Amino acid sequence: MTITDRTASELLALQAAGDVSARAITDAFLAVIREREPTVQAFVQVDEAAARQQAEAVDAKRRAGAPLGPLAGVPVAVKDVLCTRGVRTTCSSRMLADYVPPYDAHVIERLRAADAVLIGKTNLDEFAMGSSTENSAFQVTRNPWDSTRIPGGSSGGSAAAVAAREAPLSLGTDTGGSIRQPASHCGIVGVKPTYGRVSRYGLVAFANSLDQIGPFARTVTDAARLLAVIAGHDARDSTSVDQSVPAYTQSLDQPLQNLRIGIPQEFLKTGLDAEVEAAVRAALREYQAQGATLVDVTLPHAAHHAIAVYYIVATAEASSNLARYDGMHFGHRTADKGDLIATMSRSRTEGFGPEVQRRIMLGTYALSSGYYDAYYLQAMKVRRLIAEEFATAFTQCDIIASPTSPTAAFPIGEKTADPLTMYLSDIYTISANLAGIPGVSLPCGFTSNGLPIGLQLLAPPFAEERLFRSARMYEAATDWHTRRPPL
Amino acid sequence: MAEPYKIVIGLEVHVQLLTKTKLFCGCRNQFGLPPNTATCPVCLGLPGSLPVMNRTAFQLALRAALALNCQMASFTKWDRKQYYYPDLPKNYQISQYDLPFSAEGWLEINIHPDPKKGHTPKRVGIIRAHLEEDAGKLLHDESGRGGDSRVDLNRTGTPLLEIVSKPEMNSAEEAVAYLEEIRLLMRELGVSDCEMQEGSLRCDANVNLHIPRSDEPHGYAATPLVEIKNLNSFRSVGRAIRYEAERQFSAFQNDPQNYRIGRLLKTTAGWDDARGRTEVQRHKEEAADYRYFPDPDLVPVTVSPEQIDAVRREMGELPSQQRVRLQTQYGLSPYDANVLTAKGRPMVAYFEAVATILNDGKQASHRISDLVFPALSERNEEMESFPIRATEFAGFIQATATLSKQDRVDLFTHMLEQGVNVAAAMEATGLKPATFDEATLRAAVIAAIGNNPKAVADYQSGKTAAANRIKGEVLKANKGAPNDLVQRLLEEELAKQ
């Protein structure tokens, strides 16, 4: 087995045994990146020298007998919406094409402290707005399983990089499904933690009340390992919750007894692809075979209103967050300068892509005088109902299962002309962000075209441990996660 | 009233809080640093940065609002006020919109046009007080050559308390008194240094007139509201309001049908201090749409009754309470109590020490205003560094009890200028109470007894008060002689008669 087919856990063990150096691991992944990037285009930036330097530092520490962090020598790719000190952080936007942050995001600090090797910054839908990574200002990332198809989004680069064996681990962000949906489309594991579990300090905000940083990996264990490193309280994020982080990997292989799995009836009705539905139903039978019981639950508001609520709340917050990019203090400044307002307006028109502009306008409208009560306030009320609905459902079940996405990855360009259809593809994932609960997507089969299908599991707030254990129960009994894309 | 109209004034006051650090980050909150040196990712609004509330700032704000007799909210939140301006790097200001942490208070103001008439207290209602972050400063090229403007973001994110009064002030004097009271209160509470020149106290005035007209539904016609900005001193607040009232009155007289609230829009005017006039800046076409919404990066703040009690306990005596105490404890007039209070806590402490030694509050107050007030203003000095401390001053008052007011002033001036004590000053200037030896005084007493046989006879017949006539003659001839010594000698000599 080549190094790049190894999991992060295996890479740690190999290094500990002295069988391979961090430098050799990094070199192997850099070689794959060089070979596959022309096709996959997952990365917007790879600094080979910097990656090697970090790896060599880990090897030197090991030789000196110094204590090593929990991800020592393991390459991690990072979505280019997370600030990296001295390294461009573009958000895949023309607006921030040259932006170099003077500070590291909290999760980047954590990765450095864990002795991980930051191998590169990955592509995304501009400012994380999209479900296909087609909205990047720089490049279209390809699905490693079929390069004519999208990898999902907005964290498409991070998902594709892990699926393509360009990195064993990566970080994404999930505002409405932006980790789980690309994980599903790329046949890997993606986790959206509870809101407040991971500090957002240094994450360039799309929608602050929904954004959460989370891991991509090829196995549940690896994902748990990475979450354990980045989770925990950070005083610099007022919404970060001061609650201890369980040792996820220790309990992971203990199956949950008498697991009650909630099946939201509304999620298995319209618009669901038959092959996806069949794969998910087969996965549920596997759980039943392991002693789990299926419970019907009902999430009417989540099913019928989540997308509407999301596109008000998220765009309202985004319209405000993105106001700072006006060419004055940050961001692209137009060459065609006029008075203050004209200069700002032209800079923003040139710097933002069409989807970002669309969402800024939607959000501005929703917050405007005379519309606030009807849109934003109403959306916040329904949002609360959705959270309460999930809380009620979790009194009847331990986890909730559904497809991650109603279809497998669609062809590049298929939905770009129809934003609403694109928005609807997030139907199963969005409500978890509105409710602030954690979720995971893990591989549960393939379509007849050989495209991966994802199973989504949701749990109550801060029940990530339960999520990992139940995901691992399924993973241990199946081999979907061991399949390799045809690259 | 003298004018044929009633002025209606509401003030919006911004007070910069005296915290070590800014409202949402750890940068220094300090005036006068080199441009852009007190900044960090948070106050620069760098992508990815997040605000965290400064608890000390919130505590100070609670203290201020309690002193303004405000109702305190048990739940308050932060909102984004959104507008594009280059001094605001995020293009939104973190402020408080519909749930400010305090509302519905009042402040008692003291207007004292004439010491003899005493002061006239008046309560001015407070609509709300809320916290917000300050914007940065733009430095425009004023050479006229159209150079680039520069931005200094040191001030960005410093904590501001906005205090909005009800439109309940009716003269420039009341508006200035309100501002003076706010400044005194904030300084005494340690909330703000309130230096208008440095911008730590800022004020916008909303002004219009009610002009009595018997044929109007309310008995008066109201002129359109004008918001006056750019008020940089207490003096300019008074001048601007007086100017604006006259301007509005003549505008109304020129067009009484149309120059009215409701007919014309609210305008914003800048005060031009050099020209001494207000200049209309813009018409407020409609309420600006700031698209307020709750800041999702910050969590709401809950305030318990216990927290409020704790803040109240730490607050100490408020100026309004102090004024009453100075009257009851030391017998001061309302006017004197007000003047002392307005000078601040160090002055009041000085007064209380002097009054206690002299056992005479009125005398202490009068001597301090005769001698210490002018000395401080002449020397441009603060009470804390005044060289003659309370004990020495009380000793000076006792030692100079028999001197004329002018001699006392000259002696005090000499002490301050030469830096010497009272004994040395008396020696150097020769300004000292006459000394009397007992033998000389006894002779004077005997002579006076001889001059007043009728008084002696009255005294001997039991009218002891008659002795005062004799004593008065002795004291008149021996200015400054100790009263008790003369009394004793007189009693001894009368007994011998």
pLDDT band at B1; cut points 50, 70, 90:
very low
Q: Give residue-wise pLDDT tens across range B277-305.
A: 998 887 655 567 999 999 999 999 999 99
Average pLDDT for residues B379-394, to the nearest whole number? 92
Interface of A with B in 340-399 (CB under 8 A): 340-341, 344, 364, 367-369, 372, 376
A61 labelled catalytic: no
A178 labelled catalytic: yes
Average pLDDT for residues B87-101, to the nearest whole number? 96
Q: Active site residue: A178, A402, A441, A470, which one?
A: A178
pLDDT band at B119; cut points 50, 70, 90:
low
Pairing of strands B277-283, A169-174: unpaired
Q: Active site residue: A92, A136, A154, A155, which one?
A: A154
Residue A280: pLDDT above 70?
A: yes
CA distance A457 to A262: 10
Same domain for B298 and B331? no
Q: How far is B90 from chain A (nearest CA, A)?
A: 4
Name residues whose C-beta falls within 8 Å of residue B496's C-beta, 6 or more positions apart in sequence. none
Residue in B47, B92, B151 closest to A204 by CB: B47
Average pLDDT for residues A6-23, to the nearest whole number? 97
Same domain for B347 and B324? yes
Q: For A311-344, what is the HEC assignment?
A: HHHHHHHHHHHHHHCCCCCCCCCCCCCCCHHHHH
**Which residue in chain B has the smallest CA separation from A368?**
B291
Q: Which residues pair with A171 in a beta bridge?
A: A78, A215
Same domain for B278 and B383? no
Interface check for A316 against chain B (CB to CB < 8 A): the answer is yes
Looking up tokens 């301006």 gives B85
- Whether B411 is covered by a domain: the verdict is yes
**Mean pLDDT, rounded, of chain B:** 91
Is residue A192 within a helix (H) or strand (E), and if so which, with residue range?
Answer: strand A189-192
- Is the interface score ipTM higher than 0.90? yes
Whole-number pLDDT of residue B116: 64
CATH superfamily of the domain spanning A3-255+466-482: Amidase signature (AS) domain (3.90.1300.10)
Q: What is the CATH number of the domain that holds B453?
A: 1.10.10
Residue A313: pLDDT above 70?
A: yes
Question: Which carries the bigger pLDDT value, residue A164 or residue A272?
Answer: A164
Q: Give residue-wise pLDDT tens across range A322-331.
A: 999 999 888 8
CA distance B137 to B139: 6
Q: Active site residue: A79, A121, A192, A415, which one?
A: A79
Interface check for B92 against chain A (CB to CB < 8 A): the answer is yes
Same domain for B295 and B321? no
Name residues whose C-beta falls within 8 Å of residue A10's C-beta, 6 or more positions apart in sequence. none
Whole-number pLDDT of residue B266: 86
Whole-number pLDDT of residue A296: 96
Average pLDDT for residues A153-158, to the nearest whole number? 97
Phi, psi of A466 (to 5 degrees): -65, -40
Q: What is the number of domains present in chain B?
A: 3
Percent of chain B with pLDDT over 70: 97
Q: How far is A312 from chain B (nearest CA, A)?
A: 12
- Whether B178 is covered by a domain: the verdict is yes
Residue A270: pLDDT above 80?
A: no
| Contact assessment for residue A267 and residue A428, using Cβ atoms and an 8 Å cutoff | yes
Secondary structure of residue B373 in the 3-state scheme:
helix
What sections of B29-105 are H helices per DSSP?
Answer: 55-67
Residue in B46, B84, B289 closest to A344 by CB: B84
Whole-number pLDDT of residue B230: 85
* Domain locations in chain A as residue ranges: 3-255+466-482
Residue A147: pLDDT above 90?
A: yes
| Contact assessment for residue A106 and residue A234, using Cβ atoms and an 8 Å cutoff | yes
Q: How far is B292 from chain A (nearest CA, A)?
A: 7
Q: What are the structure tokens assigned to B310, written together?
A: 């704790």
- CA torsion sign, A273 to A275 to A277 to A279? negative
Q: Is the peptide bond before B365 cis (omega within 30 degrees of 0)?
A: no
Residue B345: pLDDT above 60?
A: yes
Whole-number pLDDT of residue B114: 63
Q: Give residue-wise pLDDT tens across range A184-225.
A: 999 999 999 999 999 999 999 999 999 999 999 999 999 999
- Whether B334 is covered by a domain: the verdict is yes
Q: Could A330 and B41 be called an inter-chain contact, meaning their C-beta atoms sit closer than 8 Å?
A: no
Average pLDDT for residues B449-459, to the nearest whole number? 89
pTM, to two decimals: 0.90
Same domain for B331 and B394? yes
Domain that holds residue B326: 317-429
Q: Residues in chain B, how many?
A: 497
Q: Could B86 and A91 be called an inter-chain contact, meaning their C-beta atoms sit closer than 8 Å?
A: no
The most distant pair of C-alpha atoms in chain A lies apart, rounded to whole Å, by 69
Domain boundary among B284, B306, B328: B306
Q: Give residue-wise pLDDT tens across range B465-475.
A: 888 888 888 88
CA distance B235 to B10: 17
Q: How far is A78 from chain B (nearest CA, A)?
A: 15
Q: Could A205 and B297 be called an inter-chain contact, meaning their C-beta atoms sit closer than 8 Å?
A: yes
Give the DSSP per-residue string, A469-483.
HHHHHHHHH--GGG-
Phi, psi of A8 (to 5 degrees): -60, -40
pLDDT band at B110; cut points 50, 70, 90:
confident
Average pLDDT for residues B143-151, to the nearest whole number? 83
Whole-number pLDDT of residue A27: 98
- Whether B1 is covered by a domain: the verdict is no
Same domain for B390 and B463? no
Same domain for B336 and B247? no
Same domain for B383 and B344? yes
Q: Could A238 and B92 be called an inter-chain contact, meaning their C-beta atoms sit closer than 8 Å?
A: no
Show residues of chain A in contact with B50, CB under 8 Å.
Answer: 200-201, 236-238
Q: Give residue-wise pLDDT tens across range A17-46.
A: 999 999 999 999 999 999 999 999 999 999
Burial (0-12, 13-18, 19+ Cβ within 10 Å), B173: middle
Residue A96: pLDDT above 60?
A: yes
CA distance A223 to A414: 31
Q: Which residues pair with A78 in a beta bridge?
A: A121, A171
Domain boundary among B306, B329, B345: B306
| Contact assessment for residue A270 and residue A443, using Cβ atoms and an 8 Å cutoff | no
**Which residue in chain B has the smallest CA separation from A199?**
B50
Domain boundary among B306, B338, B361: B306
Residue A153: pLDDT above 90?
A: yes
Residue B2: pLDDT above 80?
A: no
A101 closest CA partner among B288, B86, B289, B44: B44
Same domain for B102 and B185? yes
Same domain for B271 and B139? yes
B51 closest CA partner among A124, A201, A81: A201
Q: How far is B153 from chain A (nearest CA, A)?
A: 11
Q: Give residue-wise pLDDT tens across range A379-432.
A: 999 999 999 999 999 999 999 999 999 999 999 999 888 888 778 888 999 999
Q: Could A324 and B296 be called an inter-chain contact, meaning their C-beta atoms sit closer than 8 Å?
A: no
Q: Give residue-wise pLDDT tens across range B26-79.
A: 999 999 999 999 999 999 999 999 999 999 999 999 999 999 999 999 999 999
Interface check for A242 against chain B (CB to CB < 8 A): the answer is no
Same domain for B212 and B66? yes
Same domain for B155 and B283? yes
